[in-house]
Amino acid sequence: MLSPEATTKIDYELTKYPADQRQAAVMSALRIVQTERGWLSKESITEVAQYLGMPEIAAMEVATFYNMYDLSPVGKYKVTICTNISCMLRGSDEIVSHLQNKLGVGFNEVTSDGKFCLKEGECMGCCGGAPLMHVNNTEMHEFLTTDKVDAIIEGLK
Amino acid sequence: MLNIEIDGKSIEVEHGSTIIDAADKVGIAIPRFCYHPKLSVAANCRMCLVQVEKFNKPLPACATPVADGMKIFTRSKSAIEAQQSVMEFLLINHPLDCPICDQGGECDLQDVAVAYGVSGSRYTEEKRVVFNKNIGPLVSTDMTRCIQCTRCVRFLKEVGGMQELGMIGRGEHAEITAYVDKSVNSELSGNIIDLCPVGALTSKPFRYSARSWELTRRPSIAAHDSLGSHIEVHVKDNKVMRVLPREKESINECWLSDRDRFSYEGLNSPDRLKVPMIKHNGAWVETDWKTALEFAAGQLKDITNEHGGEALGVLVSPNSTMEEGFLAKKLANGLACGNVDYRLRQTDFRLDGKRLGTPWMGCNIHEIEELDRIIVIGSNLRNEHPLLAQRFRRAVANGAELSVVSPLDNDPLMDIAHKVIVRPNDMVNVLGQILKAMSGLQRLSLCLPPSLTALLDDIKVRPNTQAIAESLAGHGKDYDLIAPKVGIFLGNMALSDPRFTEMYSMAEAIGGITGAKGGILPAAANSTGMHMMGVMPSSTGMHARAMLEIPRKAYLLLNIEPELDCQHAALAKAAMEKAECVVALTTYKSQALDNADILLPITPFTETSGTFMSMEGRVQSFAAAVRPLGESRPAWKVLRVLANTLGLAGFDFESSEQVKDAIFAGEKPSAVVWRSLNNNLRELVEIQVNIKHDGLQRIGEVPQYESDPIVRRSPPLQKTKYNIKPMARMCSRQLAALDLVEGDHVLVKQDKGSAVLTVRLDDHVAMGCVRVAAAHEATIGLGELMGDITVEKLSPQQLLDINKNITEARA
């Protein structure tokens, strides 16, 4: 069951679209449920599809198309590091190996305390600030150095 | 109109058409995978790239609208380069397993690769592998072969009405799948096999059984519903290997329902009767045709000589051909017997003698799409007419408003504007309400016969029926129409209802006021034809129901299984048991062995020539696709020789064509049909609108894969999720009222018969009704399809006792 908070938020998103096109809110609805539950299980996708009155498979298509939707559990903090060309030229490899050593996990793995998950990201459209990383899809950090990354991680603990 | 030039040919095309339409019109081939004229344009395979003058890169022909003066080149250097590159990309991940692929030989990818591809590949890396999905018993998947054209996804969404497949992931990881572990349950799912341009979706029952070039293709007509779909029967070694649709735009377009596509698996069932059999001192003995026919003729003659012709009852399947029906009737009449009927699942015969002609659907099949307002009465469309439902779906998509009056609220997978879900008994009243509401509408100032006006006085119009009346009159949810094209259709549940006559009369009155087209949607392949030929009781004869209620001394059964095909299973069984002699012309033996005394093996529709008349009055003849199995013979021949053996005159037919000529008296069939089809009534039947009915009423729907003997024996259809053991299905309010919960065992009783069933919650069922499927072994003890029924809860002890009794009885 979707929580009352989630349905309130989804209902607000629905006001942005014509009443007979509830499916239009699927991306927002999936995002809201993911924020609340941490990741999107098949059951969560089903609930969203049912709430919006659309075929489950159509919601699944959307959830699998965009890589900001997580279809398996991620830690409390999902750290996504861009490894595309601009960031790579500015030293993202170093940031990646530093983080992997520090957290003791590789890409797509979760730390044993369930707190952190590392993801390899694609271009975040902000190459002027390379190297870049995202925390939980919403918080962006620019001009990363190993010291700066340490500080960010400490701040999250 | 626009003038364009394709490969130097100037043509004129309509505004808004695409390059691919224009090219198809002049017969210039453009390769394509994802484009299909019946589906929306996806433009994702890129195979149809062509060069267009003044554009610096190739354009997809399927998604580019033409402009005046456009010059298109489909075989220029740039176009060929584009096609070859796309082909190379498509083949990167396509496996080279053509030798073991069922699509081999009829594969678009193979053909296009040969015609438009290059001879080698430069790709040496590893190919991707996609795991196969189990999407049900009808469609087999090899997803590694998929080229992501999404035709199957679009078909199920746009034509099937429910998106059951989708493409998940993207780029190299994209794959077609159903949701998690679900199967594809559409009753039109077989069409995705035809649509798939590669071997990713193939027919599961046909798998690995033949190659396409070994098959002989013979045209025929589908035999399981009254649509009259054109089919192509594929034959190898005198065996039907598969059935595919034959394109006929005005009937089945290029589609086919699963029932018509996969029923052929029942043709070669081990249950086929191959030799004539006679019951001798209670034991069955196989015999030759001569003995069997002489014995049958002797028995029939003895009984009719002794007790008169009316001692015989002739029950004809509405799925039999016109020739067979005609001869059965002629034979009965030759024996001075007027008891002939094909309306096996009908209960209400009060309209007999009051019709002006043969009832039919009242319009052409393709006209459904053009209707603005539709009302469907007593029909579970997807179950009864799977492919016709698709036309209704298209009408609704085009903006039509659909109203439904029915005891079942099953989702037809299209938007319903208004619905009234009531018990069958109240449907007459609901139709009366609609009629009354209409008479109150300004624009339809109407003169109803005084008898009807007086009747309507007692009716109270409710808001939902008022809404239906307004919708039919033209007031719409979105916009109003002054003269809407209205369609009004009665389905199977209405046809088998004990108050069908009253429903029909009301519907006719509503149709008269609104100027509606429409009529009945007959259930079987040849219902309309049987009615037109008058395969019905003479003025003194008995109709199908009376023949069972007042048992006859002898029965002649043509292609039916009495307990499963008649509206009153228990009565049919009792009548057959009581009869002195039952001659069954049957294709299968299992049921007949219990009921009959003489079995004459006849062929199914693939092994005989014949004629069906569809719901729109189209007379369609077909030839045999294969030779008869074993000793079985076409029923028209058997009836002819039986009549000869009986010494009846006028049975000198040498071919089924001669029988057909006799049916139409040498005239053009369409001329006879034109004169005969008429839905109007000579007079109104006494209608009562306020009959109260407090008890429970059964909704004895015939499940779509139980509708006739062939379908019942098709293993793949029986494996679908539609094959569920009959249960006592009721809505939650009804369960609460009876103090039942889902999973309880109940004893349901009708007349003297009963059945032990499991309770199932089904909120699609109207209050006051129990939905108990018919045409199934579990319910052959029960009575009328739409009759009264009682439900008693069984305690675990009672259930044990009953089961013990059954086991003992069997032993």
Q: pLDDT for B456-506, tens place per residue?
A: 888 899 999 999 999 998 887 777 888 899 999 999 999 999 999 999 999
Q: The domain containing residue A133 runs over which residues?
A: 77-156
Q: What is the pTM of this model?
A: 0.94
Residue A98 lies in a domain: yes
Q: pLDDT for B212-247, tens place per residue?
A: 999 999 999 999 999 999 999 999 999 999 999 999
Is pLDDT above 90 for B646?
A: yes
Whether residue B579 contacts residue B347, with contact meaning beta carbons closer than 8 Å, is answered with: no
Contacts 24+ apart (CB under 8 A), B797-800: B798/B747, B799/B745, B799/B756
Residue A50 CA, distance from chain mean position: 23
Q: How confident is the model at residue B595 (pLDDT cuts 50, 70, 90)?
A: confident
Q: Quick one: A51 and A88 in the same domain?
A: no
Q: How confident is the model at residue B689 (pLDDT cuts 50, 70, 90)?
A: confident
In the sheet that B49-52 helps form, which strands lie side by side, from edge to edge? Answer: B9-13, B2-6, B71-73, B49-52, B59-60
> Which of chain A's residues have a Cβ under 8 Å away from the Cβ of B148?
none
Which of B169, B170, B179 has the CB atom closest to A57's CB atom?
A: B179
Determine if residue A82 is labeled as part of a ligand binding site: yes
Whether residue B781 contacts residue B757, with contact meaning beta carbons closer than 8 Å, is answered with: no
CA distance B617 to B672: 10
Instruction: Give the Å distances, CA to CA, from B299 to B284, B339, B501, B601.
Output: 17, 17, 37, 18
Is pLDDT above 90 for B195?
A: yes
Predicted pLDDT of residue B611: 97
Pairing of strands B788-793, B745-750: antiparallel
Tell which of A34, A65, A96 closes a domain: A65
Cα dihedral across residues B350, B332, B330, B607: positive or negative: positive
Give the DSSP per-residue string, B494-542: HHTSTTHHHHHHHHHHHHHHHT-EEEE--SSTTHHHHHHHT-S--TTS-
Virtual CA dihedral for B297, B298, B300, B306, nearest 10 degrees? 150
> Which of chain B's residues have a Cβ under 8 Å away from the Cβ of A58?
163, 166
> Which of chain A's residues have a Cβ under 8 Å away from the Cβ of B182?
56-57
Predicted pLDDT of residue B797: 86
Shortest alpha-carbon distance between residue A65 and chain B (Å) = 5
Predicted pLDDT of residue B457: 83
> Which of chain A's residues have a Cβ under 8 Å away from the Cβ of B170?
64-65
- Asked, colleague to colleague, whether B365-520 and B696-810 share their fold, the answer is no
> Does residue A61 sit at the B interface (CB-CB below 8 Å)?
yes
Give the DSSP per-residue string, B181-192: T-----TTTTHH
Q: How confident is the model at residue B69 (pLDDT cuts 50, 70, 90)?
A: very high
CA distance B254 to B390: 12
Q: What are phi and psi of B230, to 5 degrees?
A: -85, 130
User: Does B20 or B590 have the greater pLDDT score?
Assistant: B20
Instruction: Give the Å distances, CA to CA, from B191 to A134, B143, B178, B402, B799.
Output: 46, 17, 16, 26, 44
User: Does B457 or B12 have the greater pLDDT score?
Assistant: B12
**Structural domain boundaries in chain B:** 1-92, 277-349+527-676, 365-520, 696-810
Compute the C-alpha angle B42/B47/B48, nearest 5°: 80
Q: Which residues of chain A have pLDDT under 70?
A: none
Whether residue B487 contacts residue B679, with contact meaning beta carbons closer than 8 Å, is answered with: no
Whether residue B500 contacts residue B522, with contact meaning beta carbons closer than 8 Å, is answered with: no
Predicted pLDDT of residue B442: 61
Among A20, A43, A57, the strongest candidate for a mutation testing the B interface, having the largest count of B CBs within 10 A, is A57
Helix (H, G, I), strand (E, B) or coil at B114: helix
H helices present in B117-268, as ranges: 151-158, 191-195, 258-262
CA distance B408 to B389: 16
Which of A46, A55, A60 has the CB atom closest to B168's CB atom?
A: A60
- In 10 A of CB B565, how many CB atoms? 28
Determine if residue A87 is labeled as part of a ligand binding site: yes
List the beta bridge partners of residue A146. none
CATH number at residue A9: 1.10.10
**Complex ipTM:** 0.89
Predicted pLDDT of residue B443: 60
Shortest alpha-carbon distance between residue B561 and chain A (Å) = 40
Predicted pLDDT of residue B444: 60
Q: Quick one: A130 and A152 in the same domain?
A: yes
Is pLDDT above 70 for B650?
A: yes
Percent of chain B clearing pLDDT 90 (strictly above): 85
CATH number at residue A103: 3.40.30.10
B562 cis-preceded (ω within 30 degrees of 0): no
CA distance B558 to B315: 6
Q: CA nearest B174 in A: which residue? A: A65
Compute the C-alpha angle B67/B70/B73, nearest 5°: 135
Compute the C-alpha angle B693/B407/B399, nearest 5°: 140
Residue A92 lies in a domain: yes
Predicted pLDDT of residue B742: 92
> Which of chain B's residues have a Cβ under 8 Å away from the Cβ of A64?
168-170
Percent of chain B clearing pLDDT 70 (strictly above): 99
CA distance B585 to A129: 85
In the sheet that B554-558 helps form, which strands lie side by side, from edge to edge? Answer: B283-286, B277-280, B598-601, B581-586, B554-558, B312-316, B340-341
Give the DSSP per-residue string, B576-595: HHH-SEEEEEESB-HHHHHH
CA distance B233 to B251: 17
Residues of chain B in Cβ contact (below 8 Å) with chain A: 157, 162-170, 177-180, 182
Q: Quick one: A60 and A127 in the same domain?
A: no
Pairs of residues, one from chain A and one from chain B, whose beta carbons lie less than 8 Å apart = 35
Q: What are phi and psi of B584, to 5 degrees?
A: -110, 120
Q: Quick one: A60 and A84 in the same domain?
A: no
Helix (H, G, I), strand (E, B) or coil at B65: strand
Contact A56 B179 (CB under 8 A): yes
Report residue B318 as tokens.
């509405």
Residue type, A14: L
Architecture of domain B696-810: Beta Barrel (2.40)
Mean pLDDT over all residues of chain B? 93
Architecture of domain B277-349+527-676: 3-Layer(aba) Sandwich (3.40)
CA distance B717 to B690: 42
Predicted pLDDT of residue B501: 93
CA distance B269 to B702: 22
Q: How confident is the model at residue B131 (pLDDT cuts 50, 70, 90)?
A: very high
Q: What are phi and psi of B367, to 5 degrees?
A: -70, -20
Yes or no: is domain B1-92 CATH 3.10.20.740? yes
CA distance B43 to B800: 62
- In 10 A of CB B303, how many CB atoms? 20
Q: Quick one: A58 and A117 in the same domain?
A: no
Q: CA nearest B170 in A: which residue? A: A65
Whether residue B247 contacts residue B231, with contact meaning beta carbons closer than 8 Å, is answered with: no
Which of A55, A61, A65 has the CB atom closest to B162's CB atom?
A: A55
Q: Region B403-415: what's the mean pLDDT?
A: 94
Whether residue B474 contacts residue B481, with contact meaning beta carbons closer than 8 Å, is answered with: yes
CA distance B359 to B344: 16
Q: Quick one: A90 and A137 in the same domain?
A: yes
> Which of chain B's residues have a Cβ under 8 Å away from the Cβ of A65?
168-170
Q: Region B638-648: what's the mean pLDDT?
A: 96
H helices present in B11-54, as ranges: 19-26
Residues 6+ apart with CB under 8 A from B474: B372, B373, B443, B480, B481, B482, B483, B484
Residue A150 lies in a domain: yes
- In 10 A of CB B341, how many CB atoms? 25
Whether residue B590 contacts residue B596, with contact meaning beta carbons closer than 8 Å, is answered with: no
Q: Quick one: A91 and A28 in the same domain?
A: no
Is pLDDT above 60 for B184?
A: yes
Q: Region B295-306: what's the mean pLDDT?
A: 95
Strands (E), B567-645: 581-586, 598-601, 610-613, 619-622
CA distance B575 to B670: 39
Q: CA nearest A62 in B: which residue? A: B168
> Which of chain A's residues have a Cβ under 8 Å away from the Cβ of B411?
none
Report residue B660 as tokens.
């057909």
Tell which of A65, A91, A108 closes a domain: A65
- Per-residue DSSP letter, B215: P
Residues 6+ apart with CB under 8 A from B183: B134, B135, B136, B721
Which of A42, A46, A58 has the CB atom closest to B166's CB atom?
A: A58
Shortest alpha-carbon distance between residue A131 and chain B (Å) = 26
Predicted pLDDT of residue B445: 57
Yes or no: is domain B365-520 CATH 3.40.228.10? yes
Give the count of domains, chain A. 2
Predicted pLDDT of residue B677: 95
Contact A42 B177 (CB under 8 A): no
Determine if residue A117 is labeled as part of a ligand binding site: no
CA distance A115 to B274: 73
Q: CA nearest B175 in A: which residue? A: A61
